[in-house]
Amino acid sequence: MDFKKFINGALGRPEKGDTVKYFSMRDRISGYILTKAQQNSPTCGYNYEADITKFWEEFQNMKETCDYPLSFNTIMMKVLVEGLKVAPKLNAHIKFNKTSSCGEIVIKKHINVSMPVVLDEGDTFPLKVKEAENKSLKELSEQIEDLIERLKNTELNRVLFDVVAQRTVSLFLSGAIIPTIAQTVTGYVGKNKVAKVRDHFNPVPNDGSILYMDELNEGSVCLTNWGVLYDGLNGNVTYTPLLFPQTFLMAMGVVKDVDYAFRNEKGEVDIGTKKMLPITLMFDHRIGAFNDVMPFIKKLDEIFQNPEIMREW
C-alpha cells in the first residue's frame, strides 16, 4: 500500500472526491452544547402517546374563531407551560461537579422556552420565548410572531459572535484554560475559523428590530416539533439530547388518525378513530426519579381530556 494512503487512512482524512464542509458559527455553538449534554447529562426518556381527539377538535374551533393567528406549536407551548407549573423541577438548570459529586438544581423563576424554528434555507434555529408562564395564548402568539419577524432582520453571525464570546469567557472563568485557548485560536485562524472582525458587521441597532444575544441563549426548557419537518413522518422521536444545562425537553411528532376497536352502548364491538400525538419527554435523571415527571403527565392528561379549559388561556 502507498505510504501516504496508509497514513491518510489511519488519520481518517477525506479521500479524493469527498466534499468537506467545515462547521459554521451556528454549527459550532450547537455542536458544543449537544456534545456537552451527551457528556454531562444522564438522560432518561419516556414516549407518551397522547389521545388528543377532543383537544384537536377544540383547537380547530378556537383557531377559526379567535382574533389572532393560532398555531398548533403555540397551543402546545401553552400546554407545556401549564405542565411545568405543577412540575417545577423540570424547569431548571443543573450544576454538577463530577470530581466531588456535589451539585445543585436551580429551579428557574421564569419559564423561558427554547423553540427551534425552520429557516428559509432549511436550517433550524432556536429562539427563546421569555416568561411564557405569564402569557396568554394571544400574547404567546404575538411574541412568537414578533421573534420570527425580527429573525428575518437579524445578521445572525453578528449576534452569534457575541454568543461565542460569552461562552468563551464562561469557559475561562470555569478554569478550562486549554479549551478557552483552543476555541479562541481556531475561531480566528485555520480551516475552521468562523470569527470575523467586528468592523465587518453592520452596527447593531437598539430599536428592537432584530434579535439580541439574550434571545438566542438557552432557555430554561426546550420544546421541539419534528412533525413540521415532514407531515408524513411515520415514527416517534425516541431520543434527543437536552440543551445543557436544561433538565427537560418535550419533542412532538405528527398528529395521526388511529383506528381502534371499542364496545358501544349495546355491547357490540365497533370501530372508531382517535387523534394521537406521539410526545417524547426527556429529563435529566439527576433531578430525581420518574415520579418528578408524573405531575407533568397527569396535567397533560387533564388538559387533553378536558380541552375546554383552553378557552380560559
Segment 143-162, tens digit of pLDDT: 988 888 888 777 666 666 66
Contact 223, 76 (CB under 8 A): yes
- Tell whether the model's pLDDT for residue 268 goes beyond 50: yes
Handedness of CA 187, 188, 189, 193 (dihedral sign): positive
Mean pLDDT, to the nearest integer, of 260-265?
78
Q: What is the rounded CA–CA span in Å between residue 86 and residue 67?
A: 29
Highest-pLDDT range among 12-16, 113-117, 193-197: 113-117
Amino acid present at 281? L
Q: What are phi and psi of 25, to 5 degrees?
A: -60, -40
pLDDT (tens digit per residue) in 5-27 = 767 667 677 777 777 776 666 66
* Mean pLDDT, residues 129-149: 90
pLDDT at 203: 58
Greatest mean pLDDT among 12-26, 73-87, 197-211 lies in 73-87
In this prediction, residue 213 carries a pLDDT of 66
Average pLDDT score over residue span 101-112: 88
Considering only residues 265 and 110, tell me which one the structure prediction assigns the higher pLDDT: 110
Q: Where are the alpha helices (DSSP H) in the chain?
A: 3-11, 25-40, 53-65, 72-86, 137-152, 156-173, 177-188, 294-305
Instruction: Give residue 277's pLDDT.
Output: 92
Per-residue pLDDT band at 199 (split at 50, 70, 90): very low
Q: Between residues 23 and 185, which one has the greater pLDDT?
A: 23
Cell numbers for 6: 496508509
Is it true that domain 43-153+217-312 has CATH number 3.30.559.10? yes
